[in-house]
Amino acid sequence: MPTDYLDDRKPGAWTDGHLVAELKNSFWEGLLVNRLHTALRDPALRKAFPNFAGRRGDLRERLERLRLLRNRAAHHEPIHARDLRVYHRFMCEVGSYVSDDLGTWIVSHSRLPGTIAGRSDTVSGLRPTRF
């Protein structure tokens, strides 16, 4: 049975969207370091985050905090003691810096606010957990 349909990594098969989707969070965060400011921020990063008008360091800090939270969750480390509403707000804001549509999509599809709202019921056993 041919497996060509499974291998979208053939030369010429990757689109810009494929490439962007494969980049790690640390890549985007790394683009915001001071030493790359002149080379990248002015000509290119304004296009990557067209709705962001703040300080580059503030954006890098938010991306770093989101990456660290993601890594902790991915490695099954506890994140329940953190104020996840702050991280959710960061995630929504960073999405809106990329595009208004992305920010709106994140807000409308995220289950985190409902999960946070029901946390005390789950901890007390009034609401069953779902896995």
Written as one string, the DSSP assignment of 32-56 is TSGGGIIIIIIIIIHHHSTT--S-H
pTM above 0.85, yes or no: no
Give the tens place of pLDDT for each residue, 34-90: 666 666 656 677 788 889 888 888 888 898 899 899 999 989 999 888 999 999 999
**Average pLDDT over every residue of 88-104:** 93
| Domain assignment of residue 129, yes or no | no
Give the count of domains, the chain.
Answer: 1
Task: Give the whole-angstrom CA distance, residue 98 versus residue 46.
Answer: 9
Q: Give rounded-to-5 percent helix, strand, coil for the chain.
A: 65, 0, 35
| Domain assignment of residue 35, yes or no | yes
| Domain assignment of residue 19, yes or no | yes
| Domain assignment of residue 23, yes or no | yes
What pLDDT is attached to residue 113? 94
Domain that holds residue 101: 4-123
| Domain assignment of residue 128, yes or no | no
Give the tens place of pLDDT for each residue, 102-113: 999 999 999 999
Checking if the pLDDT of 1 tops 70, the result is no
Per the model's pLDDT, the better-predicted residue between 85 and 9 turns out to be 85
| Domain assignment of residue 51, yes or no | yes
